[in-house]
Amino acid sequence: MKVYIVGAGPGDPDLITVKGLKILKEADVVMYTDSLVSEELVTRANPEAEILRSSAMSLEEMVDIMADRIRRGKKVVRLHTGDPSVYGAIMEQIALLKKEGIHYEIVPGVSSVFAAAAVAGAELTIPELTQTLILTRAEGRTPVPEREKLKDLASHHCTLALFLSATLTKKVVNELQEAGWSENTPIVVVQKATWPEQVIIRTNLRNLDKDMRKHGIHSHAMILAGWSLDPHIHDKDEYRSKLYDKEFTHGFRKGVQA
Ligand SMILES: C[S@@+](CC[C@H](N)C(=O)[O-])C[C@H]1O[C@@H](n2cnc3c(N)ncnc32)[C@H](O)[C@@H]1O
């Protein structure tokens, strides 16, 4: 038997994958991060299932419970917010499960970075403008490796998605300025993307910190930064992709010869 580590998606209970929902419905035990996973999603589990909230548990408690239920032959789901592989702290659980001889399977989920882009109506990779998206965080109490300092990552001038950084926007602004970002660089902040209480702020580097305070945003926020977030990007012809260009030939279509 194994533990299923399932991505719950960003909030909207319909944004779990079909596979994740199937496993959730079959589970005998569901352990979930109650501060971040929607209660409505958890109600879709088998009504007979044992439901456990993990926010007040230590790592050892969580793993002890999962291991105990597995040994009793139960199907166990560990439900994580967004996609489990991004800031999910799953590796420490997996390490202890392995010590207990328990296997695991990860079922991916919709990360908040993509939910935030969706509700902002944005494409994060715009042809000729940026073809790179960096997922990172500002350095707070959790240190960031020296070679991954925001200023250095920002030197690529691509799109940045900042997790866990809502209280660190002063630092974000300083580092992006040091990397040469213009004050006018567009930024979209989405708090609780796809939840009923979702908030979207469209701002720029100059006003980011002020706007975060104005809207009282201290947590659960995705900060998307870069010119791909320009609200006028749709009007600019120079950023069309080659994929749908009528003069561009590819495997599925012959281009029109000029
Ligand atoms: C512990 S990390 C978990 C990330 C998660 N694994 C994911 O893929 O989205 C929590 C951070 O993810 C971001 N986050 C998670 N859910 C969010 C949502 N619905 N809207 C905006 N940001 C969210 C915030 O930056 C939050 O501080």
137 strand-pairing partners:
163
Name the residue at shortest CA distance from atom 2 of ligand 1: 87
Stretches in the chain below the pLDDT threshold 70:
240-258
Q: Taking CB atoms and a 6 Å cutoff, what residues make up the pocket around ligand 1? A: 10-11, 81-83, 86-88, 111-112, 115-116, 163-164, 190-195, 220-222
The CATH number assigned to the domain with range 112-238 reads 3.30.950.10
pLDDT of residue 34: 82
CATH number of 2-107: 3.40.1010.10
Q: Where are the domains of the chain?
A: 2-107, 112-238
Q: Are strands 2-7 and 103-107 parallel, antiparallel or unpaired?
A: parallel
Residue 95: per-residue pLDDT: 96
Alpha helices in 8-73 (DSSP H): 18-26, 39-42, 59-71
Question: What is the C-alpha separation between 151 and 173, in angstroms, rounded?
Answer: 10
Task: Give the Å distance between the CA of 114 and the centre of ligand 1.
Answer: 10
CA of 36 to the centre of ligand 1 (A): 8
Cα–ligand 1 centroid distance for 252 (angstroms): 37
What is the atom index within ligand 1 of the atom nearest the CA of 80? 6
Give residue 48's pLDDT.
97
Q: Which atom of ligand 1 is nearest to the CA of 109?
A: 8
Nearest-CA residue for ligand 1 atom 7 is 82
So what's the pLDDT on residue 172? 98
Q: What is the pLDDT of residue 233?
A: 82
The reported pLDDT for the residue numbered 42 is 97
Ligand 1: centre distance to CA 200 (Å): 14
Instruction: Encode pLDDT of 225-245 as tens digits.
Output: 999 999 888 777 777 666 666
